[in-house]
Amino acid sequence: MSLLKSVEKEIRKCVKCGVCRAHCPVFTELGREPAVARGKVALASAVLSGKTGLDARLYDDMSKCLLCGTCVEKCPNDVPVDRIVMAAREALARKRGLKSFHKAVRQVLKRRYIMNIGALTASLLSPLIFRKVPGKSGLRLRLPLPFVGRDRYFPKIASKPFLSRYPEIIPGQPDKPRVLYFVGCMTNFIYTDIGDSAISLLRSLGCTIIIPKAQQCCGFPAISGGDAPTFADLAEKNIEIFEKYRPDHIVTACASCGSALRDLYPELLGELRPQLARRCGDSAGKVLDAVVLLHNLGLKPGDSGAGQKAVITYHDPCHLRRRGITKEPRDFLKCLPGKVFVEMEQHGSCCGLGGTFNVYHYGTSLAINSRKCDSIIKSGADLVVTGCPGCMMQIAGGLSKTGAKKRVLHTLELLSKSLKP
């Protein structure tokens, strides 16, 4: 059964009340009904009833979604619109082929070594390809490339991927948990400091840490383009690794990876690869956001860095907010010595990255992002903290455009800094 047919019951739950219009970040920018959840559900329903086909226009409509799930949270009937959009994209990709960016993503994800070589090349050639954004940690392209305009912000690519710098297993104390760290592509290739912080924090608690070198991309970028086979292949490889090591916990420090491993694997594999679905339930249940695990294990922030006074605020990544993970990061941030925590307006609204949404709808992505950046600036915070490297990249890029001198860090980085001797 196709993914789309499998969500038919969900589609019928929509009563067209229009609540989603109040909350969809894309609709807020575009203002047209096909951009909002209610419209997308109507279009998906029309595909199933034969009223419309899987045509180019539909492909475009379905691409205008961040998969942020805000509509799902607010829907009085809990219609899982993000699942419906993913299912529609899968049907469209099968019928019309993947969009060119997702074709490239597929090639790269299937061949991990390309990413490694690519990262190395990019980091070596970086001074040629990029110019530094003054005063910031980011870069801009010197020449335009396909998919990317000159004004696009790039974070620095790490010269050595995170996975290449750590052993497979870091032994800890025998009475402490065995934790498998799922690093995720953004941390592995770009924001390696997040990974370093995660390891250092887990070590401080005596955990045995498993950092499998064979781990793959979580698959979210693939499925967000409708590429179900790549998603399932990646899931299979990751599940095999989880089964091999049988950790107590599987931690992620990337909100999107966490959602993929914990929610998408069981939900989607049930349709795509039922045998695999049966196996993944066990590991899915072990997936925890790193901040939550550290909170549960009783980590106490230290007072290194108490001298560096700063006003900090927290941006809730969509994929943490939806899983109800909003308190643990704030508990930590509110007790960091030397730091004053302020809540920004719209702290839970989407940063606008939407994974690959940003590629095809750059203008809209920027517009959504600028609202977030306005909230940040209005809050008076010097430092924005969040729990997703994707959000970090998007927000850092947006803030750099405003010229505001603000830093963006991951919760784990601040925590780790506070414990440095």
Partner 1 sequence: MLENHILKKLKSIVGEDNVTVESHDMLCYSYDATQMEFLPDAVVYPARAEEVSQILKLANSENLAVFPRGAGSGFSGGSLPKGGGIVLVTTRMNKIVRIDTENLVAVVEPGVVTFQLQQEVERLGLFYPPDPASLRFSTLGGNVAECAGGPRAVKYGVTREYVLGLEVVLPNGDIIRTGGETMKGVVGYDLTRLICGSEGTLGVITRIILKLLPLPETKKTMLAVFSSIDGAARAVSAIIRGKIIPSTLEFMDHTAIRCVADHSQSKIPETAGAALIIEVDGDRDLVEKQALAIHEIIKTMDLLSFKAAKDAEEAEELWETRRKVSPSLRKVNPHKINEDIVVPRSRVPEIIRGIEAIREKYSVPIVNFGHAGDGNIHVNIMIDKDIPGEAEKAEMAVKDIFRAALELGGTMSGEHGVGLSKSPYITMELTPAQISIMKAVKRAFDPNNILNPGKIFPD
Q: Tell me whether residue 40 or residue 273 sits nearer to partner 1 (CB atom).
A: 40
Q: Tell me whether residue 75 or residue 139 sits nearer to partner 1 (CB atom).
A: 75
Q: Tell me whether residue 51 or residue 95 sits nearer to partner 1 (CB atom).
A: 51
Q: Tell me whether residue 42 or residue 133 sits nearer to partner 1 (CB atom).
A: 42
From 28-36, 213-221, 262-270, 378-386, span contacting partner 1 (CB under 8 A)? 28-36
Nearest to 301 by CA among 327, 326, 336: 336
CB of 312 to partner 1, least distance (A): 22
Cα separation, 379 vs 391, whole angstroms = 18
Longest dimension (CA), the chain: 65
DSSP, residue by residue, 203-217: HHTT-EEE--TT---
Q: Tell me whether residue 33 or residue 196 sits nearer to partner 1 (CB atom).
A: 33
Q: Tell me whether residue 146 or residue 324 sits nearer to partner 1 (CB atom).
A: 324
Q: Tell me whether residue 18 or residue 127 sits nearer to partner 1 (CB atom).
A: 18
Q: How many positions of this chain bind partner 1 (CB under 8 A)?
A: 26
Q: Per-residue contact track with partner 1, 114 to 153, x per CB under 8 A?
A: ----------------------------------------
Task: Provide the residue count of the chain.
Answer: 421
Among 8, 33, 196, 248, binds partner 1 (CB under 8 A): 33
**10 Å Cβ neighbour count for 48?**
17
Cα separation, 366 vs 129, whole angstroms = 23
Q: Per-residue contact track with partner 1, 76 to 105, x per CB under 8 A?
A: xx----------------------------
Using the rule CB under 8 A, is 12 a contact of partner 1? Answer: yes
Q: Tell me whether residue 28 or residue 216 sits nearer to partner 1 (CB atom).
A: 28
For 202-227, letters b (16+ CB in 10 Å) and e give: beebebbbbbbeebbbbbbbbbbbbb
Using the rule CB under 8 A, is 31 a contact of partner 1? Answer: yes
Among 5, 8, 21, 104, binds partner 1 (CB under 8 A): 21
From 25-33, 181-189, 233-241, 383-391, span contacting partner 1 (CB under 8 A)? 25-33
Q: Is 122 exposed, middle or buried (0-12, 13-18, 19+ CB in 10 A)?
A: middle
Cα separation, 160 vs 108, whole angstroms = 18
Tokens of 242: 């989880």
CB of 345 to partner 1, least distance (A): 11
Using the rule CB under 8 A, is 32 a contact of partner 1? Answer: yes
Cα separation, 164 vs 160, whole angstroms = 7
DSSP, residue by residue, 106-167: HHHHH-HHHHHHHHHHHHHHHHHHEEEPTTSSEEEESS-BTTB-TT-EEEPPPSS-GGGGS-
Q: Tell me whether residue 42 or residue 141 sits nearer to partner 1 (CB atom).
A: 42
**Non-local CB neighbours of 364 within 8 Å, separated by 6+ positions:** 26, 29, 30, 64, 352, 357
CB of 89 to partner 1, least distance (A): 15
* Ramachandran quadrant class, 136 (left: phi over 0; alpha: psi -120 to 50; beta: rest): beta
- Please report, as residue ranges, which positions from 172 to 191 form the binding site for partner 1 (by CB under 8 A): none
Q: Tell me whether residue 59 or residue 314 sits nearer to partner 1 (CB atom).
A: 59
Using the rule CB under 8 A, is 22 a contact of partner 1? Answer: yes
**Non-local CB neighbours of 91 within 8 Å, separated by 6+ positions:** 2, 3, 4, 47, 54, 226
Angle between helices 265-272 and 228-245 (to 10 degrees): 120
Q: Tell me whether residue 75 or residue 254 sits nearer to partner 1 (CB atom).
A: 75
Could you give the C-alpha distances from 54 to 46, 82, 97, 330, in angstroms and in order?
A: 10, 18, 11, 44
CB of 311 to partner 1, least distance (A): 23
* Ramachandran quadrant class, 183 (left: phi over 0; alpha: psi -120 to 50; beta: rest): alpha
From 13-21, 172-180, 358-366, 376-384, span contacting partner 1 (CB under 8 A)? 13-21
Using the rule CB under 8 A, is 18 a contact of partner 1? Answer: yes
Could you give the C-alpha distances from 77 to 12, 158, 349, in angstroms and in order?
A: 10, 44, 21
Q: Per-residue contact track with partner 1, 39 to 78, x per CB under 8 A?
A: x--xx--x----xx----xx--x-------------xxx-
Using the rule CB under 8 A, is 17 a contact of partner 1? Answer: yes
CB of 144 to partner 1, least distance (A): 25
Residues in contact with partner 1 by the rule CB under 8 A: 12-13, 15-22, 31-34, 39, 42-43, 46, 51-52, 57-58, 61, 75-77
